A and B are shown apart, each in its own frame.
Chain A
């Protein structure tokens, strides 16, 4: 009984603790280990030849994710070979969004022909650690897991042809050229991540 009471107090204290708001540009991320659509566990440290990473919090169902699907695949095509692979993570609670279940992730990855990891963050701890809020929400990291860019893929969700600022491409190009990222943080309208109910 006493133990139960104590653990209850712990829960209350924990729930009342200020929530850490996630990473800012310049912070060093903690590596993770998440299940890929092929059933294997993936960590950033598995990418021995990477110079950095394009980590994208994404999902199956959000219209913004759908609008950016081709562009995300194009990012991996362009940058994986030069050392910046795309690592996509779906953190949506499948009980709130059934189209984002692991089975559906497997189906979408197969249907679209994803040639990058599409990981499930079932406990949502990675999304919370990063401070991801939207889908798609991009974090460009350098090899030592330093956050170099946070935000949107570009400035036109509606039409790829109307894009004038390719935020992620510019950031990765600058990093590859050994330069500082000029626009290191952007915001976009998007679907909120479907958090589990507490």
Chain B
């Protein structure tokens, strides 16, 4: 409970510097996706080993820096192959990532992929754009195109 309150707290704050990576379980992650938030959530599923994910990170960083109405969450899926969070921390420092990074620590992806989005195959990268108040959501499977996130944000806000 305390952990989820802390998570909700940073969701409403506007951070300027690299933030501590939050290690969390599925239940707490689901809470973030379901808790009504003033900001549109842009949730990107990525991993340090995923080349197309790394290629599209600048689009998400730009969105994080330029659109105060959006909360960008970079959800690392590294745990499935390597449970050591340090690899993600090093990557964050090297790339000077400022958007919030979450590190999901769950085994057996078949048990939870559908709970995040039943349309998601589990392939990386994937991005969810969610208006938590209206529950409108859009899922992008594969690499994002320039301008695509802005369009989807408009779509879930309509």
Interface residues in chain A, defined as those with a beta carbon under 8 Å from any beta carbon in chain B: 63-64, 67, 97, 133-134, 151-152, 155-158, 162, 164-165, 167, 186-195
Among candidates A151, A162, A189, residue contacting B77 with C-beta atoms closer than 8 Å: A189
- The answer, yes or no, to whether B82 is at the interface (CB within 8 Å) is yes
- The answer, yes or no, to whether B83 is at the interface (CB within 8 Å) is yes
Are the C-beta atoms of B81 and A187 separated by less than 8 Å? Answer: no
Are the C-beta atoms of A152 and B110 separated by less than 8 Å? Answer: yes
A64-B109 Cα distance, complex, nearest whole Å: 13
Among candidates A64, A157, A187, residue contacting B121 with C-beta atoms closer than 8 Å: A187
Are the C-beta atoms of A190 and B113 separated by less than 8 Å? Answer: no
Are the C-beta atoms of A190 and B123 separated by less than 8 Å? Answer: yes
- The answer, yes or no, to whether B142 is at the interface (CB within 8 Å) is yes
Digitize B120-158: 1 where CB-to-A-CB distance is under 8 Å, 0 elsewhere: 111111100000000000000110000000000000000
A187-B120 Cα distance, complex, nearest whole Å: 9
A190-B126 Cα distance, complex, nearest whole Å: 11
Are the C-beta atoms of A188 and B109 separated by less than 8 Å? Answer: yes
- The answer, yes or no, to whether B107 is at the interface (CB within 8 Å) is yes
Given contacts A156-B108, A190-B124, A191-B123, 13 further A-B contacts (CB under 8 A): A97-B51, A134-B123, A157-B80, A158-B80, A165-B110, A187-B110, A187-B113, A187-B120, A189-B123, A192-B121, A192-B123, A192-B125, A193-B123
Are the C-beta atoms of A195 and B82 separated by less than 8 Å? Answer: no
Are the C-beta atoms of A155 and B142 separated by less than 8 Å? Answer: no
- Whether A64 touches B110, Cβ cut-off 8 Å, given contacts A188-B122, A190-B122, is no
Among candidates B52, B77, B109, B124, residue contacting A187 with C-beta atoms closer than 8 Å: B109
Chain A proximity of B112: nearest CB distance (Å): 9
- Whether A192 touches B81, Cβ cut-off 8 Å, given contacts A156-B108, A187-B114, is no
Are the C-beta atoms of B81 and A133 separated by less than 8 Å? Answer: no
A63-B142 Cα distance, complex, nearest whole Å: 17
Are the C-beta atoms of A133 and B121 separated by less than 8 Å? Answer: yes
Q: Specify which of A156, A158, A191, A192 lies most central, judged by the most chain B CB atoms within 10 Å of its CB.
A: A192
- The answer, yes or no, to whether B9 is at the interface (CB within 8 Å) is no
- Whether A67 touches B110, Cβ cut-off 8 Å, given contacts A192-B142, A194-B52, is no
A156-B110 Cα distance, complex, nearest whole Å: 10
- The answer, yes or no, to whether B5 is at the interface (CB within 8 Å) is no
Are the C-beta atoms of B110 and A186 separated by less than 8 Å? Answer: yes
A195-B52 Cα distance, complex, nearest whole Å: 11
Q: Which residues of A contact B141 (CB under 8 A)?
A: 133, 192
A157-B109 Cα distance, complex, nearest whole Å: 10
Q: Which residues of B contact A155 (CB under 8 A)?
A: 107-110
A64-B114 Cα distance, complex, nearest whole Å: 20
- The answer, yes or no, to whether B12 is at the interface (CB within 8 Å) is no
A186-B82 Cα distance, complex, nearest whole Å: 21
Are the C-beta atoms of A189 and B142 separated by less than 8 Å? Answer: no
Q: Which residues of B contact A152 (CB under 8 A)?
A: 109-110
* Nearest opposing residue in chain A for B118, CB measure: A187
* Nearest opposing residue in chain A for B110, CB measure: A186
Some 9 contacts from A to B, beta carbons below 8 A apart, are A152-B109, A155-B110, A164-B108, A187-B110, A187-B121, A188-B109, A189-B47, A189-B124, A192-B121
A134-B110 Cα distance, complex, nearest whole Å: 13
A63-B53 Cα distance, complex, nearest whole Å: 14
- The answer, yes or no, to whether B54 is at the interface (CB within 8 Å) is no
